[in-house]
Amino acid sequence: QEPLTASMLAKAPPQEQKQMLGERLYHLIYPLHPSLAGKITGMLLEIDNSEVLLLLESPASLRSKIEEAVTVLQAHQAPE
């Protein structure tokens, strides 16, 4: 699968851009957190597209962002 670039994204409508980023993110997150992949992807899609692109290019950054998202998610879902 070819890397997603800013110019590729720029050609798509905004809604489609998130979809493209989401597909990439989901397939990277799924092997790490199969049960939470959809939620984590949803959280990361709230980030700026340009920042998501950087994450997709940097596995280490993405991994740390995923762990951050998991922590937030678990705290959010934890009963009080």
Partner 1 sequence: SNGSSISWPPEFHPGVPWKGLQNIDP
Would you tell me which residues interact with partner 1 (CB under 8 A)?
15, 18-19, 22-23, 25-27, 37-39, 41-43, 45-46, 73, 76-77
C-beta closer to partner 1: residue 42 or 63: 42
* Residues in Cβ contact with 66 at an 8 Å cutoff, skipping those fewer than 6 apart: 29, 32, 33, 40, 44
Least distance from C-beta 53 to partner 1, angstroms? 16
Report how far residue 29's alpha carbon sits from residue 40's, in angstroms, rounded to the nearest whole number.
8
Least distance from C-beta 54 to partner 1, angstroms? 19
Least distance from C-beta 80 to partner 1, angstroms? 9
Cα dihedral 27, 33, 34, 37 sign = negative
